[in-house]
Amino acid sequence: MEQREAVKGKLTELSGYFIEESDEMIWTVLSHNDMNKDFSSENGITKNFLIEAAKEFNEVKYSKDLYNHLLDIVANAKSVTKELQEAVKYLMYWKLGKVSMKRTPTSVPIQVKGNTYYVSGTTYSNRMAIDKAITDNMLEFGLKFRDNQIPYDVFRSRADTLTVTSIVLPTYFIHIWNPAVYPILDVKVWRTFKWNNGAAIYKQTKPNSWVHYEEYTQFFRGLVDETGLEWRIVDKGLWSIGEKLKEGNVQRMKLNF
């Protein structure tokens, strides 16, 4: 197998998977002893590209102050409390884009660090998933996972019970307990991942399994390692790239930020 230009002449550890429909292998760089410093990714996912893309992340819809404050509560909780329960609940609503500083006729106000936010309703299946996520038993498992008392695969099996309609909320539940290691997965970042691998983007280009999450996690961690950027910058950059990707054959699409 010919080495990619990024790692040519270097000792490289790869992970790959086979796509039967197109009869091709997709490879991801897991580690290397020194990247080719002259390399520029074919689709433009470089350090500077991510930095510029991250600036266009929708901070109005997804408040970073609220997100960071709630993550701090989860990170510092000593036991299951009402504060932890509410932090996890509103983090889930935040992920769904249902927390805003703008009031709507049906929204419910909440006070966080002196600021008023308004929580809007969501689907029945999402409400059921959130209710399961904030039970004492599930939160206790979350604390154990955060503190490395149970492994990923055990916690994954618990998170998998939250809903059968989507992989997004179960993987997000993993994320909130160890956000620097387990990234946020959604349609936008998944499309960026597929685009970076040279795939066309279609309406059905969506993540739908734990295998997809684990493939994306490897890709995400590789970008964090290669660019040296803080994980949240990488996350926001990938989201913003996905926001600009349109359906169709975009293997050679050039994006500007």
Three-state secondary structure string covering 127-157: HHHHHHHCCHHHHHHHHHHHCCCCCHHHHHH
Mean pLDDT value of segment 92-119: 93
Q: What distance in Å separates the CA atoms of residue 144 and residue 225, rounded to the nearest whole number?
A: 26
pLDDT, position 4: 45
Specify the pairing of strand 108-112 against strand 12-19: unpaired
Distance, in Å, from the CA atom of 238 to the CA atom of 193, rounded to the nearest integer, reads 8
What tokens appear for 204 in the block? 């059905």
Query: Which range among 18-27, 72-81, 230-239 shows the weakest confidence by mean pLDDT?
Result: 18-27
> Distance between CA atoms of 137 and 128, rounded to whole angstroms?
15
Pick from 10-24, 36-50, 62-76: least confident: 10-24
Least Cα distance to 6 among 51, 45, 54, 50 occurs for 45
User: What is the rounded average pLDDT for all residues in the chain?
Assistant: 85
For the entire predicted model, the pTM comes to: 0.81
Instruction: Quote the pLDDT of residue 248.
Output: 66
Q: What is the pLDDT of residue 21?
A: 44
CA distance 43 to 191: 13
Residue type for 146, please?
R
Residues 30 and 184: their CA atoms lie apart, in Å, by 19
